[in-house]
Amino acid sequence: MPALAEAPVARQLHVLVVEDHPPLLEELVAHLREVGHTVTGLAAPLDIDRLMMTEPIELVVLDLNLPHEDGLSVARRLRAALPELGIIALSGRIHSDQKAAAYADGVDIYLAKPASPDELSAAIQSLARRLPARATH
């Protein structure tokens, strides 16, 4: 039997994590940096638009329960402005109608909290295979 080919090298992305719970934000940012991604963390969605204009963000990990603006509204806005952007929702909203609403609003992958760092990394790599590289500014 032929040997299985090794898994391809993981694609490193520029990731934005938007999470209003400081310990979780720190944990997610640290883990994603540890596995090789360039990561920016925000505790609220207020600076997302400015950041998206100045940084080559390829994927957003987005909490849906945020202060100042609901995560679904953020997802809709980001999807309309940047159709190629990867969006992973990370939320405690676990009902199927809530998940369906998130997908309808532009989320690519929905992970229920608490998601393990390994599950998040696997979701990012899965989505990365289909994302075009963004040009740097």
Work out the pLDDT band at 27, boundaries 50, 70, 90: very high
Burial (CB < 10 A; 0-12, 13-18, 19+), residue 12, is middle
* Residue range 43-78, pLDDT digits in tens: 988 889 888 889 889 999 999 988 888 899 999 999
C-alpha to C-alpha distances, 123 to 41, 47, 50, 81, nearest whole angstrom = 18, 25, 26, 22
Q: What is the mean pLDDT of the chain?
A: 85
Confidence band, pLDDT 50/70/90 cuts, at residue 10: low
Q: Which architecture characterizes domain 14-128 according to CATH?
A: 3-Layer(aba) Sandwich (3.40)
> Residues 8-18: what's their mean pLDDT?
78
Among 38-47, 104-113, 125-134, the range scoring the smallest mean pLDDT is 125-134
